[in-house]
Amino acid sequence: MEVTVSRHAHFNAAHRLHNPNWNDDKNSDVFGKCNNPYYHGHNYELIVSVSGNINPETGYVVDMKWLADLIKSKIEDRFDHKNLNEETEEFKNLNPTAENIAVVIWDILRKEVENSLKLKVTLYETPRNFVEYSG
């Protein structure tokens, strides 16, 4: 019996979408406002979902406190109030789209969640735009 538990978290970050192999016109055409050379911010909403069997001893799939602390220490502390392009190793050479941010977050968390559990990351870049990644 598989049950999914999810934790909703939040961070603010600045980014710029840019492909260094393209000229300014093409970058502007493709990325629009997100190509602004002076960066801009988003209020990212993050949902981390873990699926697996209920542990009969605890009644939990995972301890929500553990999951909340994990997201805080590994994701929020790393990315909150950061300029993703300039201040994080992960996005020095990787365009910080919602897609790539979701994959980076999943890769970080996958190392921390035991293999018997499934992991899914949902990332809202705006209230209307979100991406999902499950590996």
Which residues of the chain form contacts with Ni ion (CB under 5 A)?
34
Q: Is 81 a catalytic residue?
A: yes
To Ni ion, the closest distance from the beta carbon of 129 in angstroms equals: 10
Residue of 15, 18, 42, 125 with catalytic role: 125
Q: For 31-55, give one letter per residue: b (16+ CB within 10 A) or e.
A: beebbeeeeeebebbbbbbbbbeee
Residue number with CB closer to Ni ion (39 or 66): 39
We find the least distance from the C-beta atom of residue 59 to Ni ion, in angstroms, to be 41
Catalytic annotation, pick one of 15, 18, 34, 42: 34
Strands 82-83 and 2-15: parallel
Closest to Ni ion by CB, 34 or 103: 34
Residue 113 C-alpha from the chain's centroid: 15
Task: Report the alpha-carbon distance of residue 33 to residue 29 in Å, rounded.
Answer: 9
Shortest distance (Å) from residue 32 CB to Ni ion? 9
Two structure tokens written together for 95: 């365009």
Q: Is 125 a catalytic residue?
A: yes
